[in-house]
């Protein structure tokens, strides 16, 4: 039988920690990620991640209990609606928030057996980051690197846009350029930098080999420091300057899947 | 010499109209679209659209005047910063807002010489709509149809995400399913409906012929009414249920460009 607590004080340390993480778009003090929707709750329950606690608004508590009926060991806490809304990151919240401990991956996991690594370099929009995570899983990337200065993959909006992929695809975050480059050298990866017009067209570049593709932010592109020693890669387009960063990443991944013969 | 007005009253009819359109995510009463950034101002000045007025916040007025120095016929109005922010659709506004009359396209323009038409069916997220507009221009789509019940292409957030493509790619909006289907029949188009798993894989479907591809909303997919008589089309993916709607549209467009041999 599921044991349900009730948290009613805005000064409750757990709720204060959640609120801070929601505002900062980051992990909680003790390293948990906020996932805010019933869809994500279902995705998480299907996976291997450790759930610390599921918070439910009073209004949504029956529905949340129903979803947790086969998981009596999960800690669940009900929070009054107004307090829940004050704590949540989402504006139109569904009344459910999962605190989940994301898997601890290393670069070795990210590289996998045949590396196809997407590097996010300075992308700030959590929706774009989430869409890239989702496409990375969809097209069989080995993993992702979130370079230092990039939005957190555990930003609640990125988590939502990833539709749960953030908990399944190997990723590391916060790495400095030198650490990333040292990793590429160790793994003997060919490194491409995605740019608007120069270099090889994406369908000509060899993405079947062990490789990484760096996607820069839309404003500044790939940083000079990470661009060193890479091969420029572009998506041929008819007329516009560049594509949305997530769109560019998705097309590179689609093309890589085609070249690798990995179509299901 | 550019003539600059000043608008200081919150009751000014123009400002009230702009404020209403910004909140509703739609055109102004007299059919103008709001474009809110210096980048969009530059894009619009390079194109053929008729600019009704350029609004500048007091702080940004010098910069705006500089951009308009070669366009003395353009009407420019300066608005006190606080009033400007109260009127604008964007939270972190750059202090510039262009009211521009979008081109009046017909289905004939949208079909062009060799139709490659993207149909947005119920997509609500303006960021996704804008990313699709941008990809449509990038990969040489003939045009777009925004079915009734879809976010407006002139929603300020869609305009921004389109990076100006919304003013260049032929599009029609607000059409009922019957009107869309009648148009397809008249134009003798092959019609594909993008779905998660069924039907032809996108690289197998013949996108080089005169065709349209319907992209549904993420929650509900393509509506039953529009799906009638179409061929199902999917993007092969390894593991996730579906891709982000904009990502799916972009990959279909990339694939169509490949098949059409249209790579620059």
Beta bridge partners of A164: none
| Residue B56 structure tokens | 């500048």
Nearest-angstrom CA–CA distance, B133 and B168: 9
Does the CB of B7 have a partner CB in chain A at under 8 Å? no
User: Is the confidence at residue B264, as pLDDT, over 60?
Assistant: no
Q: Could you tell me where the DSSP H helices lie in chain A?
A: 13-24, 38-46, 61-67, 81-87, 107-111, 126-138, 156-161, 177-187, 224-227, 245-259
**CB proximity list for A65: less than 8 A, separation 6 or greater:** A2, A4, A56, A76
Q: Which residues of B touch A246 (CB under 8 A)?
A: 131, 244, 246-247
SS3 of A206-235: the string is CCCCCEEEEEEECCCECCHHHHCCCEEEEC
Element (H, E) at A205: none
Q: What is the pLDDT, as a whole number, of residue B218?
A: 82
Q: Which residues of B touch A236 (CB under 8 A)?
A: 257, 263-264
Nearest-angstrom CA–CA distance, B241 and B258: 25
φ, ψ (nearest 5 deg) of residue B186: -55, -45
Partner-chain residue, chosen from B240, B243, B262, that has the shortest CB–CB distance to A238: B262
Does the CB of A118 have a partner CB in chain B at under 8 Å? no
Q: What is the pLDDT, as a whole number, of residue B241?
A: 64
A203 contacts B258? CB cut-off 8 A: yes
CA distances from B237 to B150, B247, B263 (A): 26, 12, 24
Beta bridge partners of B121: B216
Q: Which residue, among A101, A91, A218, has the nearest Cα to A151 in the 3D structure?
A: A218
Nearest-angstrom CA–CA distance, A262 and A58: 46
- Chain centroid, CA B251 distance in Å: 18
Q: What is the pLDDT, as a whole number, of residue A240?
A: 64
A239 contacts B138? CB cut-off 8 A: yes
B264 contacts A240? CB cut-off 8 A: no
Does the CB of B69 have a partner CB in chain A at under 8 Å? no
| Residue A143 structure tokens | 């993993």
Does the CB of A235 have a partner CB in chain B at under 8 Å? yes
Per the CB < 8 A criterion, the answer to whether B194 and B214 are in contact is yes
Mean pLDDT value of segment B81-98: 89
Q: Which residues of A touch B240 (CB under 8 A)?
A: 134, 137-138, 163, 165
Does the CB of B243 have a partner CB in chain A at under 8 Å? yes
Q: Is A221 left (phi over 0), alpha (psi -120 to 50) or beta?
A: left
Nearest-angstrom CA–CA distance, B239 and A257: 13
Q: What whole-number percentage of chain B has pLDDT above 90?
A: 84
Q: Which residues of B touch A133 (CB under 8 A)?
A: none
A33-35 and A96-101 beta bridge pairing: antiparallel
Q: What is the pLDDT, as a whole number, of residue A72?
A: 85
**CB proximity list for B158: less than 8 A, separation 6 or greater:** B25, B126, B127, B129, B130, B133, B151, B152, B166
| Residue B214 structure tokens | 């319907």
SS3 of A153-191: the string is CCCHHHHHHCCCHHHCCCEEEEECHHHHHHHHHHHCCEE
What pLDDT, in 10s, does the model give residues B19-72? Answer: 999 999 889 998 999 999 999 999 899 888 899 999 999 999 999 999 999 888
Q: What is the pLDDT, as a whole number, of residue B95?
A: 95
A137 contacts B240? CB cut-off 8 A: yes
- Residues in chain A with pLDDT < 70? 1, 240-241, 262-264
User: Is the confidence at residue B140, as pLDDT, over 90?
Assistant: yes
Mutate to test the interface with B, among A92, A165, A254 (most CBs of B within 10 A): A254
Does the CB of B112 have a partner CB in chain A at under 8 Å? no
Name the 3-class secondary structure at A261: coil
Does the CB of A163 have a partner CB in chain B at under 8 Å? yes
Q: What is the pLDDT, as a whole number, of residue B263?
A: 61
Q: What is the pLDDT, as a whole number, of residue B161?
A: 93
pTM, to two decimals: 0.90
What pLDDT, in 10s, does the model give residues B169-214? Answer: 999 999 999 999 999 999 999 999 999 888 999 999 999 999 999 9
Instruction: Find the residue in A nearest to B165 (Cα).
Output: A240
Element (H, E) at B79: strand B76-79
**CB proximity list for B42: less than 8 A, separation 6 or greater:** B67
Q: What is the pLDDT, as a whole number, of residue A1?
A: 62
Each as own residue / partner, the long-range contacts of residues A25-28 (CB below 8 Å, 24 or more positions apart, any chain) are: A25/A89, A25/A126, A25/A151, A25/A152, A25/A155, A25/A156, A25/A157, A25/A158, A26/A152, A26/A154, A26/A155, A27/A102, A27/A152, A27/A154, A28/A99
Nearest-angstrom CA–CA distance, A118 and B60: 38
Does the CB of B127 have a partner CB in chain A at under 8 Å? yes
Q: Which residues of A touch B237 (CB under 8 A)?
A: 138-139, 264
| Residue B39 structure tokens | 């980048």
Does the CB of B203 have a partner CB in chain A at under 8 Å? yes
Q: What is the pLDDT, as a whole number, of residue B13?
A: 94
Å between B44 CA and nearest CA of chain A: 14
Å between B7 CA and nearest CA of chain A: 32
A4-6 and A76-79 beta bridge pairing: parallel
B217 DSSP assignment = B
Tokens 């990313």 belong to which residue? B131
Rg (CA), chain A: 20
Å between B1 CA and nearest CA of chain A: 32
What pLDDT, in 10s, does the model give residues B233-257? Answer: 999 998 766 789 999 999 999 999 9
User: Is the confidence at residue B262, as pLDDT, over 80?
Assistant: no
For residue A175, count other CB atoms closer than 10 A to its CB: 18
Mutate to test the interface with B, among A247, A259, A264 (most CBs of B within 10 A): A247
Residues in chain B: 264
Q: Which residues of B touch A235 (CB under 8 A)?
A: 138, 254
Angle between helices B126-138 and B245-259 (to 10 degrees): 10
Q: Which residues of B touch A255 (CB under 8 A)?
A: 254
Nearest-angstrom CA–CA distance, B219 and B198: 17
CA neighbours closer than 13 Å in the CB half-sphere of residue B161: 26
């Amino acid at each position: 039988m599921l044991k349900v607590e009730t948290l009613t004080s805005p000064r409750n340390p757990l709720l204060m920690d959640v609120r801070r993480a929601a505002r900062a778009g980051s992990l909680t003090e003790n390293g948990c990620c906020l996932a805010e929707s019933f869809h994500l709750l279902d995705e998480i329950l299907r996976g291997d991640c450790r759930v610390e606690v599921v918070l439910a608004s009073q209004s949504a508590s029956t529905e949340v209990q129903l979803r947790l009926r086969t998981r009596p060991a999960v800690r669940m806490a009900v929070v009054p609606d107004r307090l829940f809304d004050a704590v949540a990151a989402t504006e139109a919240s569904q009344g459910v928030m999962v605190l989940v401990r994301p898997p601890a991956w290393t670069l070795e996991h990210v590289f996998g057996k045949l590396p196809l690594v997407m590097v996010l370099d300075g992308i700030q929009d959590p929706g774009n980051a989430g869409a890239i995570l989702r496409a990375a899983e969809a097209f069989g990337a080995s993993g992702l690197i979130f370079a230092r200065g990039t939005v957190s993959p555990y930003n609640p909006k990125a988590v939502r846009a990833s539709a749960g992929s953030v908990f399944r695809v190997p990723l590391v975050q916060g790495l400095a350029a030198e650490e990333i480059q040292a990793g590429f050298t160790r793994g003997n990866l060919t490194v491409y930098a995605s740019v608007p017009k120069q270099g090889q067209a994406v369908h000509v570049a060899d993405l079947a080999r062990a490789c990484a593709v760096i996607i820069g932010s839309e404003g500044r592109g790939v940083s000079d420091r990470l661009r060193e020693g890479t091969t420029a890669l572009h998506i041929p387009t008819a007329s516009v300057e560049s594509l949305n960063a997530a769109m560019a990443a998705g097309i590179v991944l689609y093309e890589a899947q085609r070249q690798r013969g990995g179509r299901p």
